[in-house]
Amino acid sequence: MTAKREKRYVGAGSTTYLEFNLDPDIYKAGVATALGVNAAAPTGSGVEIVPYTLKLARRSTSVVIIRMKMERDVAGETESRRIDLVCDKNNADTAKAALNNLTVNIGPANSAWTLKA
């Protein structure tokens, strides 16, 4: 996880989207797709974008926080951690299976970790 953050959007209704500032090294292509997180701001008639935070998401019914295990090999030893990911509630049932064995980059060295269901 780097210090950089970029806007990402999660649906919270037919025309309402929650705007988060998330790490693009984590919420990249395959991971974002599995979670229902969009990099592009939604457009169109009646679209409402609501600024949101991870703190609010933890208490929200509009999105789900998915907790995953992640692992990496360090000098022949397996290191593991937990990571919380923002997920569109419509993707909650399938997200963990879709995320299994995908890679995210975290830490100052941008180290690659493999997500485990």
- One digit per residue, the tens of pLDDT, for the chain of length 117 reads 456 899 999 999 889 999 999 999 999 989 999 999 999 999 988 999 999 999 999 998 999 999 999 999 988 999 999 999 999 999 999 999 999 999 998 877 888 999 998
pLDDT value of residue 116? 95
Residue 9, C-beta contacts closer than 8 angstroms, at least 6 positions apart: 17, 18, 19, 20, 37, 38, 39, 40, 41, 42, 49
Structure tokens at 16: 């309402």
Bridge-based pairing state of the strands 111-116 and 103-106: antiparallel
Q: Are 59 and 32 in contact (CB under 8 A)?
A: no
pLDDT of residue 28: 92
Altogether, the residues listed in the chain come to a count of: 117
Distance between CA 39 and CA 27 in Å, rounded? 9
pLDDT value for 2: 53
